[in-house]
Every structure is written in C-alpha cells, then in structure tokens.
Amino acid sequence: MSFSTIAIIGLGLEGGSIGLATQAHLPEIHTTGYDLDPGTRAQARERGLVHEVCETAADAVKNCDLVIFCVPPGAMGDAATAVADVLPQDTLVSDVGSSKQAIAKALGDALPGRTIIPAHPVAGTEHSGPGAGFATLFHNRWCIITPPEPTDLLKLTALVEFWEALGANVEIMDAKHHDLVLAVTSHLPHLIAYTIVGTASDLEDVTEGEVIKYSAGGFRDFTRIAASDPTMWRDVFLSNKEAVLTMLQRFTEDLTGLQRAIRVGDGEALFDHFARTRTIRRSIIEEGQDDDRPDFGRTDHQT
C-alpha cells in the first residue's frame, strides 16, 4: 500500500467506518482523525475509530500522505481551507461526498495546486455520527472515483487500491455523469422519502399515531431513508441541484401518468407498469446489491 499515514477529517458514519476498515484491513497504515465537534472527538477516541484523534485538523494532517474529507458537502471548502497551510505538498486529497462536481470545485478552490481525486463510496445507513460507523460498511459496495483531467495516475492507482483493500468495488467515472447517476439512484429516492414522511405526519384526517401504527403496509420503509442526516442531505440537494431537478421532473411526469391511469380507471396501464418494475429488483439481488430475504430479512419474521 502506497500510503503510510491517512488523515480522516470528519468522524461520522463514513469517516468512522473508513477508520475502522483501514485498521481492520490495512493494519500497517497509521490513521489520524479530527472532527469539529469535541463530543464526536471524545466518542471517536472511545471507539478507537482511528489510532490518533487530534485536537486540531492541522495536527491530524501534518504527516499524512492521504487526507479524506468526510464532512457534509457544504462544509468541504471550509474543512479544506483549515488545513491548506499545513498540508504536506505531496499529500493526495480525497473525500466521500455524494455530489462530485461541486465538491471538486470547493476542494480545488481551497487547495490550489494540490492533487485532488474525489471519491464516493455508495454505502451508508440511516444512522449518523461517531457511533454509527463499522468496519464492513464498504464490503461489496461500489466506490466511484471521479478523477479530474489530467490526473496523477500513480496516486489514482493508490486510491483505487486503498478502496479495494477496504472491500469496495471501484468504478472510475466522469464527475458530471456521477452526479446524474446518483441523482436518480440516491438523491431523488431520499427527496421522495423525506416528502412522503412529511406528508403523512401532517394530515388532518389521519393522525400521526395511526400513520405509525399501520406503517408496516409500506410507509415504514420510507422512514428509514428519511431518518438520514439532515445537514448532509440539505447539502447534497443544494450541491447537486441541477441533476436532482432534472430527475425530479422526470419522476413528476411519470407520477402524473399513473395518477391519470388511476383517475380514468385504466387497469391495463397500471398492470403493465407494475409488472415491468418488478424485474429490476431481481437484477439488483443477482448483482449482490440487496438482500433476497422477504422484507429485507427484518427480524419480526424470525420471531
């Protein structure tokens, strides 16, 4: 492995998981970390998320050859600016943010002349904070790396090897295309989940108690996603605005089509649509991207 010291800035779900996974899979690498929040630093120390939790970002990065920013998209610029003066000239700069064009620009503006290769591990849970991370988060998940043009191929190779060592499958992608793909596979689903949970909790004729009680009919699935970190998701939507709005437009058109089919009683159109969407889940399971057990294998079926 080309890296001997890795600094992780931001010790929440992603940063903490990288720290734990690196210690598990690459024990020869020294890991340092920093988080703006003193409580998070204390918990990170307790859980041993990295070898060394530092009291300043400067301390964390001063000897590293890879720094990974694991803060919300909107905080990337400030987090990078805070270490600009002390970051070793040859250190590779990367991140884990969910939108890549805006973050590449923010890091580039804050750290001119440095080698920056953004990355996005498509892995997470609805939990956040320093207690949420675990070493296997990236196992058999995709990590999308979006190198700028031209890129430092040796450093790119090292970053690919690093993510593969953590259990991820790596894909190289253009940042703009990444933002479009993730807008549909991640950002739009979150926006819709946040919307419907808000709608359901804000009705006059159905109480919130009823919504909670009868949530097993489908609604509860959406509440998991809608329990994700609000700061991060605010930043995702603001930093990938254009692609999200494009995908939302497509979704709205399709929803209007189904709404019309219901209104006019067009059972055939509904059936055709529902039969078509059924097949895509099979492919997702075949590619190892979801659990085949009914209902995601929730415990209540084992009791």
Q: Looking only at residues 121 through 140 of this chain, which bind its own copies when binding is defined by CB under 8 A?
A: 122-127, 132, 134, 136-137, 139-140
The interface with its own copies within residues 89-128 (CB under 8 A) comprises 98, 122-127
Q: Which stretch binds its own copies (CB under 8 A): 20-28, 76-84, 153-161, 252-260?
A: 252-260
- Token digits of residue 82: 């805070």
The interface with its own copies within residues 64-83 (CB under 8 A) comprises 74
Select 90 or 290, whichever has its Cβ closest to its own copies: 290
Could you tell me the smallest distance in angstroms from the CB atom of residue 111 to its own copies? 24
Neighbours of 154 (CB within 10 A): 11
Select 56 or 252, whichever has its Cβ closest to its own copies: 252
The interface with its own copies within residues 223-242 (CB under 8 A) comprises 223-228, 230-231, 233-235, 237-238, 241
Could you tell me the smallest distance in angstroms from the CB atom of residue 49 to its own copies? 16
Contact 119, 146 (CB under 8 A): yes
Parallel, antiparallel or unpaired: strands 92-95 and 115-116: parallel
# residues contacting its own copies (CB under 8 A): 116
Select 36 or 181, whichever has its Cβ closest to its own copies: 181
The interface with its own copies within residues 155-194 (CB under 8 A) comprises 171, 177, 180-182, 184-194
Strand order across the 30-34 sheet: 52-53, 30-34, 5-9, 66-69, 92-95, 115-116
Select 158 or 170, whichever has its Cβ closest to its own copies: 170
How many Cα neighbours within 13 Å face the side chain of 196? 15
Could you tell me the smallest distance in angstroms from the CB atom of residue 157 to its own copies? 22
The number of angstroms, rounded, from the C-alpha of 131 to the middle of its chain's C-alpha atoms is 16
Contact 292, 285 (CB under 8 A): yes
User: How far is Cα 188 from Cα 118, in angstroms, rounded to an integer?
Assistant: 22
The interface with its own copies within residues 9-38 (CB under 8 A) comprises none
User: How far is Cα 238 from Cα 225, in angstroms, rounded to an integer?
Assistant: 18
